[in-house]
């Protein structure tokens, strides 16, 4: 029955110490006050043995602490019933021996304790007999301390479970972002390929823009959050690339309103909605197609509104691609029940409204 170490967790130490201190001092003090008031009919009588109580309960505090942190809590956390039983049995035996020889010796040699208590301590010290009783130890120490250990273990498990869930969410978010990167690059490289086939003079500027966007994705988008202003700058670069591709017969508008300088957002969260608008709104458009994007922030929330034309050849087709399915999962993780996403398929127009809380 050997405990490997003292299981003292700073997070719960104050609660544990407070409970053990109360068990050692306060309960005895309350008991003495009640005895003085109801039996001796003089509440001030409890002060007669105050020095005695200071010594005995200070020693009890030390014994309870060693028993709890050194042994009992270890076995409770290990879910070892046998260990709990054996260390509790050992505690009763060793506590009686400690009281018999150590506590009584200290009492007998402490000057501020009354003569009556010092004499009683000497008498008990000289008596060779040791009477072991279990009932009082069970009620006053073992059961309360065991309950405390189980409560702390429950709190610890809840925190560990919460930490594990957070780690799983972070892993899932990283996985979803990793999916987004190749999806984005695949689409953009296809755009550059189309321009190259036409030997367009816009190919080089588009490659330069792509380089800037790649730098952002590789060196900034792996952070948990980025300034919204930085994310908007990235989106602006992406929209400029799309403007290069769709120069004739299209109406592309990008409006930003009321951005708060301190606001941060999960990187690449808005891109799929904008990318989707260009892919499905202008890819097959041969007439006057449009993409209108508005990002507006107030003190309460951040709103993204995206609307795009629907070409005749695309009517009846699903407009939500891989990126939209991806971002829905990310929104569920980042803002569980706290965001609003509306997608409306009106005649000739597809509209998306995303509202995020300012948190």
Q: Could you give the CA distance from residue 166 to residue 334 in angstroms, rounded to a whole number?
A: 11
Residue 238 neighbours by CB under 8 Å, 6+ apart: 209, 213, 271, 274, 275
Model-level pTM?
0.53
Q: Could you give the CA distance from residue 34 to residue 156 in angstroms, rounded to a whole number?
A: 37
Least confident residue range of 45-54, 99-108, 133-142, 249-258: 45-54
What percent of the chain clears pLDDT 70, i.e. is strictly above it?
81
Q: Could you give the CA distance from residue 120 to residue 127 in angstroms, rounded to a whole number?
A: 11
Of residues 350, 163, 181, the one with CA closest to residue 273: 350
pLDDT at 4: 47
User: How would residue 170 be classed by pLDDT, with cut points 50, 70 and 90?
Assistant: low
User: How would residue 283 be classed by pLDDT, with cut points 50, 70 and 90?
Assistant: low
- Helix, strand or coil for residue 299? coil
Overall CATH class of domain 161-357: alpha beta
Mean pLDDT is highest, among 71-85, 108-122, 212-226, 231-245, for 71-85
User: How would residue 186 be classed by pLDDT, with cut points 50, 70 and 90?
Assistant: confident
Of residues 264, 247, 260, 143, the one with CA closest to residue 191: 247
Q: Could you give the CA distance from residue 74 to residue 1 in angstroms, rounded to a whole number?
A: 11
Q: Could you give the CA distance from residue 203 to residue 194 in angstroms, rounded to a whole number?
A: 9
pLDDT, one tens digit per residue, over 112-149 is 888 888 898 898 888 888 888 888 788 888 999 999 99
Q: Dihedrals φ, ψ of 226, to 5°?
A: -135, 160
Q: Which residue has the higher pLDDT, 192 or 237?
A: 237
Residues of the chain with CATH 3.30.565.10: 161-357
Residue 298 neighbours by CB under 8 Å, 6+ apart: 258, 358
**212 pLDDT more than 70:** yes
């Amino acid at each position: 029955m050997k405990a490997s170490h003292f299981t003292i967790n700073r997070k719960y130490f104050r609660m544990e110490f407070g409970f053990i201190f109360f068990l050692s001092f306060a309960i005895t003090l309350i008991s003495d006050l009640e005895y003085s008031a109801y039996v001796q009919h003089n509440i001030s009588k409890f002060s007669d043995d105050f020095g005695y109580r200071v010594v005995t309960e200070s020693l009890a505090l030390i014994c309870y602490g060693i028993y709890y942190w050194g042994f009992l809590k270890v076995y409770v956390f290990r879910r070892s019933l046998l260990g709990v039983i054996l260390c509790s049995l050992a505690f009763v035996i060793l506590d009686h021996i400690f009281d018999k020889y150590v506590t009584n010796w200290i009492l007998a040699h402490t000057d501020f304790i009354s003569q009556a208590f010092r004499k009683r301590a000497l008498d008990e010290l000289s008596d060779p007999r040791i009477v072991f009783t279990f009932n009082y130890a069970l009620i006053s120490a073992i059961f309360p301390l065991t309950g405390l250990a189980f409560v702390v273990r429950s709190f610890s498990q809840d925190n560990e479970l919460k930490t594990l869930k957070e780690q799983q969410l972070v892993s899932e978010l990283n996985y979803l972002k990793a999916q987004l990167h190749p999806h984005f690059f695949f689409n953009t490289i296809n755009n550059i390929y189309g321009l190259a086939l036409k030997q367009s003079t816009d190919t080089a500027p588009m490659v330069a823009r792509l380089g800037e966007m790649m730098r952002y994705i590789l060196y900034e988008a792996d952070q948990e959050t980025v300034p919204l202003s930085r994310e908007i700058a990235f989106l602006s670069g992406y929209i400029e690339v799309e403007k290069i591709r769709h120069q004739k017969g299209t109406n592309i508008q990008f409006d930003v309103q009321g951005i708060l300088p301190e606001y941060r957002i999960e990187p690449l969260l808005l891109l799929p909605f904008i990318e989707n608008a260009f892919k499905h709104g202008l890819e097959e458009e041969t007439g006057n197609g449009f993409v209108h994007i508005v990002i507006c922030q107030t003190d309460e929330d951040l709103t993204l509104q995206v609307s795009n034309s629907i070409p005749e050849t695309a009517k009846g087709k699903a407009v939500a691609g891989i990126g939209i399915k991806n971002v829905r999962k990310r929104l569920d993780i980042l803002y569980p029940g706290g965001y609003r996403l509306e997608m409306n398929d009106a005649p000739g127009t597809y509209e998306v409204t995303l509202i995020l809380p300012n948190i």
